[in-house]
A and B are shown apart, each in its own frame.
Chain A
Amino acid sequence: MAEGSEIEQTSMAESGTHVSTIPSGEGTVWVDVSSLLSSACNDLQEGELVHGGNFSLFAAMSALEIMDPKMDSGVKICGYNSVEEAIEKGAAPVPLSFEATTDVQCTIDVMDHLLACEATWHNGYSLARTVFSCIYLMKLERTSPHALLHSYCRIIRATCNAVVSVVSDARTHEEEDLFTMAYGLPLKGDGDEKCLLMLNAVEENISRQFRACKATLSKKGVSEDIKPLQTDLALEEGYCKALLCRIRFRKHFYHVLTSMRKPQGRGLELAKKHIASCLSELACIKKSVEFFSSNEYASCLDDIEDKTTASGRQPVGFDASLNSRLSAPIPQRAIKIFSWKKAVEYFEKLLHDLDVLCSFSLYPLLEDILPFVVKFQKLKPDLVARAHLQQLLVQDGKLYGRDLIFDVISRAAALPEIAKTHELLKNEYILQLGQLVINLLKILCANAAWQRRKLGKILQDWSVTVVQLELAFNKELGDISNVSVDEFTGLQNVFLKLSKRLLLWTEEQIFWIASRFLIMGFELELYSPSEYCMVYWFIYVILIKLSETAELKILTISDPVKRKGRKKREISKDPAKHPKISPSIMLLQCYIYLAEGLAMMLAALRNERNDFQTLSTLNTEEERFIQHFELLYKARVPDHISYSVFKESTVHVRFSTLVKYNYFSDAHRMAKELRSSFNNDPDRLVELRQIEQIAERNQVALNVICQVGVNDPSLKVSLAFSHHPCFAIAIVKRS
């Protein structure tokens, strides 16, 4: 408060000079109207405003509120007006202290706080207010006499640059554009490419000091020529260790980032090694807390839980408000730098995520890549890890920067070999399809909310492409019929095969995208319990379509003759009788049973018990049906599906009929049977176990409801997502 009033006084005193420095219009002067305005305020009625004809209260709401710390990025929190002034006033001294031990300790504090800032930045705050709140980084050349600080700051800058570059190249920043904003920050500097050399030299020096200190302690030979790191011999070993792990972590982390960016995933193996080193250095960094807590130079009685350094001390040389105005006029968010502990945890998580990426075996088949990406996203990787995933998948418009997208498609759709040389490849719609696949891969690397929105939107593009492809194929077929009769049959056969497979494959992708879109709604908690019935029903419809197209695709590829006379739906109803059906389709069938079972159970609960009924009077169920599925509807995925179809298929559902069609026990049985097919796939086995549990629980719930009596008012039915993020289990209780 005292400081505030002091500022007020100074500015009041200076205000006269300032007004004269801000020019008024030509031939005009600045006239003080404060007293006029205050009298006008007194005369104004409560709620009355002085405003012109163009005033709109709504627009006025968007005004940036000055002095509001959340909106006004220029608000002066500290006493410094600029970086230069802060330096002049000694806010960031070099060296940090003339006393060697304090200097080392302060440098470590700077290092730790920078790590905390970096983690905060990765988590969605601006670079200017996190990492670049470091005055040493803002004026890096000043630190050159201090080799340790200088090399550390330099590698921090190079690392930030590498991260900004991967995120902006991946364009995942469309979702978090604050991330790459580095306007006005000294992010690039001459000689940053040599940062590793400098850091290595510093590391080498400290490890020599470390060895010398150990030698002295064990009283083996003492190497006199090596000057110790600091003055207190008792602390020498601890400080050397604390510095070495911090330096080595930075070095390996930088290597991880650069290796992962090598084209065609060539650096993944190397990156994996560096990740392992990073993790072990992080463990040492964590351990250094013990050393600090027993050391008088680092002594800090406070709990370090919330502190940004391992020692718990306040670091020298940081001021987050100095360049916060760089981000003006964007309303700034309230910012809290991560604690040091949280920052270390964050980096551990990031490194584990990157490690998963480095273990990725660059599958050539799209049907393997898509599940990998979906599975990776379940780890909730942060922006940096997702940007690396995207960079790995799509480089220069090719898969892994290696495989042409059309080759990827033709492998996935099992197109005949001739397809590669066929004229058709030059067709613009095929090129468009390739672009759609690239976009799909990129979208799948985005964050959940953005991803879902985009998936919904691209459905339309895919649907349009299917129609266009179909038209183009028909036209081409017409052209073929003009060639001589001998050539005709051969060409026609090949062409028919090609077009059929490509269309089927494209449709399969559409239904896959639609199913992801619907399922992600659960992950993002977009549905309310009263809407679960329609959502499960829609998922069921989409999954049926997906399994049909997938099945057809497999059948067309394997043996088109055998398929004759069989109805598609029959196959999916009882796959056990058709052992040739692929396990992946049977797995899909399990989910179909679950979705159908849940939709029907919820419908019965509504029809007979009035449970999960819509309470909102704001909009009708039909309106919400349209709101949720509008994008699918627009893309006609699938065709002829509307609210009335949903109503028809659910309005008459009763518990008595539900018991007859036993969806849950079918799902349970099939999942059990499938186990042997996935013996070598632990992920799939976990999935099957989940299905079995969900089916079993719901079956039990259904039985309880039927036994107790549907209309028993003491029954309470609720849903829980304890076994799966999307497929619920019903919990029945008697009150």
Chain B
Amino acid sequence: MESPTPSDQAQSSDKPTSNVDQARKLLFRQMLIGVNDGRFFLGVFHCMDKQGNIILQDAVEYRSIRRSSPSPMEQHCLGLVLIPSSCRSSCHIDCSIEEQLSLLSVDK
């Protein structure tokens, strides 16, 4: 893994850490990704590339049995999955309330 280039660090000097470093801190944590056919994938954040394609480890697929909402969900274990950025509609990370605030502040 290459470290961020000096220019990156210069650009983000006003922030405590760069976006890439922030994203890197999310590795190995539970991530919940929604895709645009309505399914969700819950798994361990394993990798992301520049295009925003994400690989989750030990992923579980959640899909609703009925179209109407709320609907019961069924699950399937899938293992290692690659979710292309083109079909990703939402992305959440599992974290404590305190962390939530700091993440949100970075977002802004």
A: residues with CB less than 8 A from B are 4, 7-8, 10-12, 14-15, 17-19, 21-22, 24-25, 27-52, 55, 59-60, 62-67, 74-76, 79-82, 84-85, 325, 328-329
Say yes or no: A60 contacts B55, CB within 8 Å.
yes
Chain B residues 66 to 82 lying within 8 A of chain A, measured CB to CB, are 66-67, 69-71, 73, 76-82
Interface residues of B in 60-108 (CB under 8 A from A): 61-67, 69-71, 73, 76-87, 89-97, 99-100, 103-104, 106-107
User: Complex Cα distance A49/B20, Å?
Assistant: 9
Bound form: Cα–Cα A200–B71 in Å: 43
The majority secondary structure among interface residues of chain A is mixed
Residues of A within 8 A of B23 (CB): 33, 36-37, 40, 50
The answer on a CB contact under 8 Å between A11 and B37 is yes
Q: Find A63's partner among B49, B55, B100 (CB 8 Å cutoff).
A: B55
Min CB distance A699 to B, Å, is: 60
| Residues in chain B within 8 A of chain A (CB atoms) | 1-2, 4-5, 8, 12, 18-20, 22-24, 26-28, 30-32, 34-42, 46-52, 54-55, 61-67, 69-71, 73, 76-87, 89-97, 99-100, 103-104, 106-107
Residue of B whose beta carbon sits closest to that of A53? B1
Identify which of B82, B89, B99, B103 contacts A8 (C-beta below 8 A).
B89
Task: Decide: B91 and A32 in contact? CB cutoff 8 A.
Answer: yes
| Contact indicator A31/B66 (Cβ below 8 Å) | no
Q: How far is the CA of A21 from the CA of B20 in the complex (A)?
A: 30
Q: Shortest Cβ distance from B104 into chain A, in angstroms?
A: 7
Q: Which 9 A-B pairs have the closest CB atoms?
A: A40-B23, A30-B92, A11-B38, A63-B82, A51-B47, A44-B50, A39-B19, A40-B19, A8-B36
Q: How far is the CA of A564 from the CA of B5 in the complex (A)?
A: 89
Taking a contact as CB atoms under 8 Å apart, the answer to whether A15 and B34 are in contact is yes
Instruction: Sample 25 A-B pairs with CB under 8 A, ordered by A number.
Output: A8-B36, A8-B89, A10-B67, A15-B89, A15-B90, A18-B73, A28-B96, A36-B19, A36-B26, A40-B19, A40-B22, A40-B23, A41-B48, A43-B18, A52-B46, A60-B46, A60-B55, A63-B55, A67-B37, A74-B76, A75-B37, A76-B63, A79-B67, A81-B66, A329-B76
Expressed in whole angstroms, the Cα–Cα distance for A62 and B80 within the complex equals: 8
Q: Is the CB of B52 within 8 A of A33?
A: no
Shortest Cβ distance from A52 into B: residue: B27
**Min distance, Cβ A85 to any Cβ of chain B, angstroms:** 5
Beyond the given A22-B62, A37-B23, please list 4 additional residue pairs across the A-B interface where CB-CB is below 8 A.
Answer: A50-B27, A50-B48, A60-B82, A67-B87
Q: Which of A38, A67, A329 contacts B77 (CB 8 A)?
A: A329
Chain B residues within an 8 Å CB radius of A4: 36
B21 to chain A, nearest CB (A): 9
Are A85 and B34 within 8 A (Cβ)? Answer: no
Question: Does the CB pair B2–A45 fall under 8 Å?
Answer: yes
**Chain A residue at minimum C-beta to C-beta distance from B71:** A81
CB contacts (< 8 Å) of A65 on chain B: these are: 81-82, 84
Q: Is the CB of A36 within 8 A of B50?
A: no
- The answer to whether B64 and A81 touch across the interface, beta carbons within 8 angstroms, is yes
Interface-central residue, A14, A36, A59, by most chain B CB under 10 Å: A36
Of A8, A32, A81, A329, the contact of B67 (CB 8 Å cutoff): A81
Nearest Cβ on chain A to B105's Cβ, whole angstroms? 11
The closest CB in chain B to the CB of A33 belongs to B93
Closest to A75 in B: B37
B residues less than 8 Å from A76 (CB atoms): 37-39, 63
Residues of B within 8 A of A24 (CB): 30, 32, 94
CB distance from A124 to the nearest CB of B (A): 23
Q: A31-B95, A40-B20, A52-B46 are in contact. Are A19 and B83 (CB under 8 A)?
A: no
Closest partner residue, chain A, to B37 (CB atom): A76
Output the nearest chain B residue to A14 by Cβ-Cβ distance.
B69
| A19 and B70 contact, Cβ closer than 8 Å, known pairs A66-B82, A329-B79 | no
Partner of A21, one of B70, B85, B95, B106: B70
Interface centre among A28, A35, A62, by most chain B C-beta atoms within 10 angstroms, is A28
**How far does the alpha carbon of A4 sit from the alpha carbon of B86 in the complex, in Å?**
13
Residues of B contacting A44 with CB < 8 Å?
20, 49-50
User: Which of these, B18, B22, B49, B78, contacts A329 with CB under 8 Å?
Assistant: B78
Question: How far does the Cβ of B35 sit from chain A's closest Cβ, in whole Å?
Answer: 6
When the two chains form their complex, are residues A41 and B50 in contact, meaning their CB atoms are under 8 A apart? Answer: yes
A49 touches B48 (CB 8 A): yes
Given A25-B94, A32-B91: A37 and B48 within 8 A (CB)? yes
Contact A43 B93, CB 8 Å, known A7-B38, A50-B24, A75-B37: no
Which residues on the A side are within 8 Å of B35 (C-beta)? 11, 66-67
Q: How far is the CB of A70 from chain B (nearest CB, A)?
A: 13
Complex-state Cα separation, A15 to B41, whole angstroms: 12
Instruction: Tell me the bound Cα distance from A60 to B94 in angstroms.
Output: 23
Q: Flag if A52 contacts B28 (CB, 8 Å).
A: yes
Whether B32 pairs with A19 at a CB distance below 8 angstroms is: yes
Residue of A nearest to B39 (CB): A74
User: CB-CB < 8 A to A52: which residues of B?
Assistant: 27-28, 46-47
Taking CB atoms, residues of chain A closer than 8 Å to B71 are 81
Q: Point out the residue from B50, B62, B69, B77 that lies within 8 Å of A17, measured CB to CB.
A: B69
Q: Is the CB of B100 within 8 A of A325?
A: no
